[in-house]
Amino acid sequence: MLKVRKVKKVRGELRVPSDKSVSHRAVILSAMAEGESVVHDWLISADTLATLRAVRALGTKVQRKGATLRIWGRAMRFQEPSDVLNAQNSGTTARLLMGLLATQPFFSTITGDSSLRKRPMLRVVEPLRQMGAWLDGRERGNKLPVSVRGGTLKGISFFNVKASAQVKSAILLAGLGAEGYTQVEEPVLSRDHTERMLKLFGVEVLTLDTEKGRMVKIEGGQIPKSAEVFCPADPSSAAFFVALALLVDDSEVLLKDVMVNPTRDGFFRKVRQMGGEIYYENLREISGEPIADIRVVGGRKLKGVEVKGEEVPSLIDEIPVLSVLMALAEGRSRVKGASELRVKESDRIRAVVENLRSMGAKVEELEDGFEIEGVSSLKGAFIKTYGDHRIAMAFTVAGLVAEGETVIDNPHCVAVSYPDFYRDLAGITEMSF
Ligand code: S3P
């Protein structure tokens, strides 16, 4: 348990840890590639280490020195693992690995922790079966453990109705080993790191606008070529410091090297719409991803906003911390079309509603989101994280601006994406945790 009290000022410069999505993909693509790849500024966290352990269990040689990885790729030919692969808390590990394993003729099984074993897998299992792989698991393949025996695949044309980047990525990875073309069309473009990184690894990727949205297409039989990848800072981690700085008078924070890919920066855009003062400085690109230094100036009055379904993919992981800003904004806010939040590391709609209410906010739960009527202050409360890293960090921010004491029931779960969160927070708030 951790006790949090109101902070007086938030000032300083910080490079938050590297992007989790990019770090997972850098390991997976390097392992699939031919030759020796180097990954710089890799995120060291429970989730990404689960991916690293899995590719090693498939026979990939990886040398890690701090945050630098040297990976000797298997050129699409892995070894049968001698034990079950454990994705722990990481949906990205489980789902992207299924895509990779579908290309391999051997038997493997993926499991996860108690949270991941509750999450839906059929969204990936079904298209991979359509491509010709054999997959089965609990609840007819919807729940982990899931076993895979892949091999000879054929390309498919898939409509990604939920705009899930994990589903799209799994299919594209499988598509590398399939016969013919594999195409994924989605109503709104979900995070496109896999497409960008495939190009970095020399794979030909076609993207086009369609009547129904966006399409990505690849031809099977391409073996990725080794590459050098620099991972940018994670916008989802930066979001907690942006929110905190916005809520504290006289604060100013500079967040360095943050990825501002338009499929990921919806939170920063939304916050600007609320009246928050936030700038992108020094815009540039690394390893195919746009990055910037983000300057935030606190104390501006925030007003309520709406998040519509089509905006959700670009800020999906930031909704818990966005809800804290909404609770303290003037007027009404609403999030709709976000039912995916129900099947994240926890039921994030329920967790947000329950915790905000216990802090004195006016919140109404919707099936696919929530409505919030802003209040002038929150009061300290006992926060149930449900072991969900983003709930823990979002409500630590809430506790730092609330009156009285807030208790976080399980602060350790931040290790999933941001092991040093409380150390970095101490650095810019001059508080100790
Ligand atoms: C991720 C995609 C998103 C996101 C998750 C990471 C990824 O999930 O919420 O934290 O790395 O591809 P969905 O693809 O299920 O929407």
**Nearest of 422, 246, 404, 385 to residue 325 by alpha carbon:** 246
Q: Known catalytic residues?
A: 317
At 178, the amino acid letter reads A
Let me know the angle formed at the C-alpha of 303 by 260 and 188, rounded to the nearest 5 degrees. Answer: 40
Question: Is 165 close to ligand 1, i.e. is its CB under 6 Å away?
Answer: yes
Q: Which residues are annotated as a binding site for 3-phosphoshikimate?
A: 20-21, 25, 164, 166, 317, 344
Give distance in angstroms: CA of 166 to centre of ligand 1: 5
Phi, psi of 231 (to 5 degrees): -90, 130
Give distance in angstroms: CA of 431 to centre of ligand 1: 32
Q: Mean pLDDT, to the nearest integer, of 231-235?
A: 99
Question: Is 166 close to ligand 1, i.e. is its CB under 6 Å away?
Answer: yes
**Nearest of 367, 366, 360, 417 to residue 383 by alpha carbon:** 360
Beta bridge partners of 166: none
- Distance of alpha carbon 321 from alpha carbon 328, whole angstroms: 11
Give distance in angstroms: CA of 248 to centre of ligand 1: 30
Is 169:99 a contact under the CB 8 Å cutoff?
yes
For residue 117, pLDDT beyond 90: yes
Question: Is 21 close to ligand 1, i.e. is its CB under 6 Å away?
Answer: yes
Mind listing the pLDDT tens digit for each residue in 395-423? 999 999 999 999 999 999 999 999 999 99
Question: Is 316 close to ligand 1, i.e. is its CB under 6 Å away?
Answer: yes
- Distance of alpha carbon 118 from alpha carbon 111, whole angstroms: 11
Residues 6 or more apart whose CB falls under 8 angstroms from that of 81 comprise 57, 58, 108
Does the fold of domain 20-221 match that of domain 2-18+232-429? yes
Give the residue, out of 25, 316, 318, with the most ligand 1 atoms within 8 A of its beta carbon, to mutate for a pocket test: 316
**Nearest of 148, 61, 76, 62 to residue 111 by alpha carbon:** 148
- How much is the pLDDT for 380? 98
- Distance of alpha carbon 334 from alpha carbon 289, whole angstroms: 30
CATH of domain 2-18+232-429: 3.65.10.10
Q: What percent of the chain has pLDDT over 70?
A: 100
Question: Looking at ligand 1, which atom is closest to the CA of residue 317?
Answer: 9
Question: Is 317 close to ligand 1, i.e. is its CB under 6 Å away?
Answer: yes
Distances (CA, A) of 42 to 25, 232, 329, 354: 11, 9, 36, 34
Q: Mean pLDDT, to the nearest integer, of 15-31?
A: 99
- How much is the pLDDT for 95? 99
At 60, the amino acid letter reads T
- How much is the pLDDT for 338? 98
Nearest CA to ligand 1 atom 4: 317
CATH of domain 20-221: 3.65.10.10
**In this structure, how many other beta carbons lie within 10 angstroms of the beta carbon of residue 404?**
13
Question: Is 191 close to ligand 1, i.e. is its CB under 6 Å away?
Answer: yes
Give distance in angstroms: CA of 21 to centre of ligand 1: 8
Nearest CA to ligand 1 atom 10: 317
Give the residue, out of 191, 231, 416, with the most ligand 1 atoms within 8 A of its beta carbon, to mutate for a pocket test: 191
Alpha helices in 248-388 (DSSP H): 266-273, 319-327, 348-358
- Distance of alpha carbon 262 from alpha carbon 192, whole angstroms: 9
Mind listing the pLDDT tens digit for each residue in 270-279? 999 999 999 9
Question: Is 41 close to ligand 1, i.e. is its CB under 6 Å away?
Answer: no
- How much is the pLDDT for 430? 86
**Nearest of 317, 212, 207 to residue 264 by alpha carbon:** 317
The DSSP H or E segment spanning 253 is: strand 252-259
Q: Quote the pTM value.
A: 0.98
Domain boundaries, the chain: 2-18+232-429, 20-221
Assign 3-state DSSP to the chain and report helix, strand, coil percentages, each to 5: 35, 30, 35
- How much is the pLDDT for 61? 98
- How much is the pLDDT for 320? 99
How does residue 214 score in pLDDT terms, banded at 50, 70 and 90? very high
* Averaged confidence pLDDT in the chain: 98
Q: Cis peptide leading into 145, omega within 30 of 0?
A: yes
Q: Mean pLDDT, to the nearest integer, of 218-235?
A: 98
Alpha helices in 328-365 (DSSP H): 348-358
Mind listing the pLDDT tens digit for each residue in 173-189? 999 999 999 999 999 99
Give distance in angstroms: CA of 146 to centre of ligand 1: 19
For residue 18, pLDDT beyond 90: yes
